[in-house]
A and B are shown apart, each in its own frame.
Chain A
Amino acid sequence: MSELRPPIVAEWFAETIVSDRALCDAALGDLAEDFATMAQSDSIGAARGWYWSQVARSVLPLSIVSLRLAGARGWLRLIASVVLGYVVLVVVVVFSDGWLMDLTSQLWLTSIISLLAGAAGAVTAGYVAAAVGGRAPMLSALALGLLCVFASVLMLVYMDGNDGSPLWYRIALMLIVLPACALGAMLRARRLRAAAAASDGKTIASKERE
C-alpha cells in the first residue's frame, strides 16, 4: 500500500505552495485521492507523472487563491519577499567572492567553490523569500529564482564574459538558482510544519492531562 503514496518530493513541494493549512489540505487531499485511483487503474509511473504535472500547473492558481484571501497586503509581501531575497543573495555572493579571492588563485577551484556558495546563497535567499512571502511561499521563492535567472541572462548577454568567470560556471549558476530557491522555500515549510506538529502534540498532551 505504501507504493500508492504520491512522490515524496512532489508532495513536499506542493505543501510549500500555500501556507493556508485548510486550502493546502483540501488541494493535496484531492491530488492524493486521484493519485491512488490512477496508480491502481493505470500504472504507478503514469500516476507519478500526472501528480508532478498537477503540482507544477497548480503553483500559480493556488498561490493566487491564497493571495486573494490576504488582499493587498499579500501582494505587497510577495514583492517585498523577492526584493529582500535578492538582497540576501547579493550579500552572500559578494562576501563569498571576496573571501574566495584571498583563498586561492586557481580559476577552476575558485569557480567550483563560488558555485557551491552561490547555491547555498540561493537556498538561503529562497528561505528568506518564503518567510517574508507569507501566504504564497513557493511563488515568492520561484519569483526570486526567475529574477536571478533573468539577471544572469542579462549579464551573459551584455557583459560578454568580461567578468572573468568561465562560461560553464555562469550557465551552471543559471541552472541551479531556481531549484535552489525552491529548496529554500521547502526547507522553510518543513520547519514550520515540524513546529506546528510539535505544538499540536503539546496541546493534545495538555488536554489529556486535564
Chain B
Amino acid sequence: MRIPGIGELELAVLLCVARNGDDAYGAVIRRDLSARAHRDYAVGAIYVTLQRLEEKGLVTSEMSEPTAVRGGRAKRVYLVTAAGSKALRNARELASALWKGVPAHMSLA
C-alpha cells in the first residue's frame, strides 16, 4: 500500500483525529490543535485540511445526529483509516531518523 505524503498541518490534524478516537469532530479537533499550537485556528482551515486527508484516504467521516448544544446541527465525525495509521507511523519514523545525531541542547526544550 502506497501512503501519500502529508504536510505539517495535515499531520497535526491527523494526530488530533487519532488522539480523540470516536469523538473526533471539527470543534474538538480545532480546540485540541489550537491549545497545543497556541494559535486560534479557523474552523474553515480545519475542514479544508480534513477534506485533503479524506481525499488521500487517511481519514473517513460520517454525520452524527443533531444536538441542542450545537443549535440543532449535526456533527461530522472523523476516523483514522489503516492508511492514516501507516502515514502516522511513517511520519514518526521519519522524524526520529531526522532528529538522530542532533546535539541534545538543540533537541530538548
In the assembled complex, the CB of A78 is this many whole angstroms from the nearest CB of chain B, namely 16
B59-82 interface (Cβ within 8 A of A)? 63, 66-67, 69-71, 73-76
User: Please, which residue of chain B has its CB at the minimum distance from the CB of A64?
Assistant: B48
Partner of A62, one of B44, B66, B71: B44
Interface-side segment among B14-22, B26-34, B91-99, B101-109: B26-34
Mostly helix, strand, loop or mixed at chain B's interface?
helix
Count of interface residues, chain A, beta-carbon cutoff 8 Å: 28
Known: A22-B63, A27-B44, A62-B44; 19 extra A-B contacts, CB below 8 A, are A22-B74, A22-B76, A26-B47, A26-B75, A27-B26, A28-B73, A29-B67, A29-B70, A29-B74, A32-B70, A50-B40, A54-B42, A58-B42, A58-B43, A61-B47, A62-B47, A65-B47, A68-B51, A69-B51
Return 7 A-B CB contacts under 8 Å, by A number.
A22-B74, A26-B47, A26-B75, A27-B47, A29-B73, A33-B70, A57-B42
Interface residues of B (CB under 8 A from A): 25-27, 30-31, 40, 42-45, 47-48, 51, 55, 63, 66-67, 69-71, 73-76
